[in-house]
Amino acid sequence: VYIEEPPKNPTTLELLKHPAVVCTPHLGASTDEAQTRVAVEIAEQFIALSNPSSPFKITGAVNAPILSATCVPYNNSWIELTTNLGRLVGKLLQDQDRAQAKVELVRTGAALENMNFLGTAALVGLLSGRTSNGLNLINAPQLAKEAGLSVNQRYEPSEQKSVTISVTTASSTNSVTGTIKSKTIHYLLSVNGAQFFQVGTPVGTATADWNNLQLFSGTNLRQDYLAIAEALNSKGLDMSFFSVATSQQAGNFYLVGLPSPLETKLAVPNVSVFF
């Protein structure tokens, strides 16, 4: 490829006249054999991407590990769960400054031991709604770096599979824990250490289900329930479920399922609303 067409630089012209130099247009490499080889290499890389145990190798793709992970349906369920947990803990932070926040992700259960890519999914959730750039698993690490965020993660052996995301800012620490049961159903297990009754709260199987959730906190279950129900009724909304998580330190958290996402933040007397 010449810097200018046709070449005018004296040195370039002298080089072109040399008997040992053969120059072609930029398409000089576009032979039948080369195009066949390119097609074969692309096919081999697709196979390598979707099947890490294949004999082919991925070359030249800087984002291959995370893309390869998304080719496995079981991984996708955990990626989506972790992304939604990141969004939820982001709601708990509300307007707190997230720059230089300490983000920790803990994976438990043997099936999650090598799922380091979940750290990227957590960043996607935490950054949701806070950047005008298109957000995905590829660009999230760089956008998080620009926002002063990074994830420290670790694996802990356990019989229970779960993901916990904790975010510590200058003023508070917030955390959420979730799991997957029956292969695809997301469960929220705890918020800020407050455990949901029994085996957690089933949320659904997709981001759309999480979008229909509203999180509240308060200290008086009966009064809080009535106040939340009245506020929702004023908007013409009914609850599809009402689940409670309690702890002596954190008080009560109420997870409410709605028929559709709220467009504006509710005002509920004596109850905190995480919108």
In order, the DSSP letters of 211-244 are HTEEEEEES-HHHHHHHHHHHHHHTT---SEEEE
pLDDT at 199: 66
pLDDT at 170: 87
Task: Please answer whether residues 253 and 198 qualify as being in contact, where contact means their C-beta atoms are separated by less than 8 angstroms.
Answer: no
Residue partners of 205: CB distance under 8 A and separation at least 6: 77, 184, 185, 186
pLDDT at 115: 95
Kind of pairing, strands 201-204 and 102-108? Answer: unpaired
Task: Please answer whether residues 160 and 109 qualify as being in contact, where contact means their C-beta atoms are separated by less than 8 angstroms.
Answer: yes
CA distance 66 to 47: 15
**Distance of alpha carbon 83 from the chain centroid:** 3
pLDDT at 52: 64
**Distance of alpha carbon 105 from the chain centroid:** 12
For the chain, the first-to-last Cα distance in angstroms comes to 55
Neighbours of 244 (CB within 10 A): 16
CA distance 175 to 252: 14
CA distance 39 to 1: 23
pLDDT at 165: 98
Task: Please answer whether residues 239 and 257 qualify as being in contact, where contact means their C-beta atoms are separated by less than 8 angstroms.
Answer: yes
pLDDT 10s digit of each residue in the chain, 275 long?
677 878 889 998 999 899 999 887 777 678 889 899 989 988 988 887 777 678 887 777 766 667 778 878 889 999 999 999 999 999 998 777 777 789 999 999 999 999 999 999 999 999 987 766 678 888 898 889 888 888 999 999 999 999 999 999 988 999 999 999 988 899 999 999 999 876 678 888 777 789 899 999 999 999 999 999 999 999 999 999 999 999 888 789 999 999 988 888 999 999 999 97
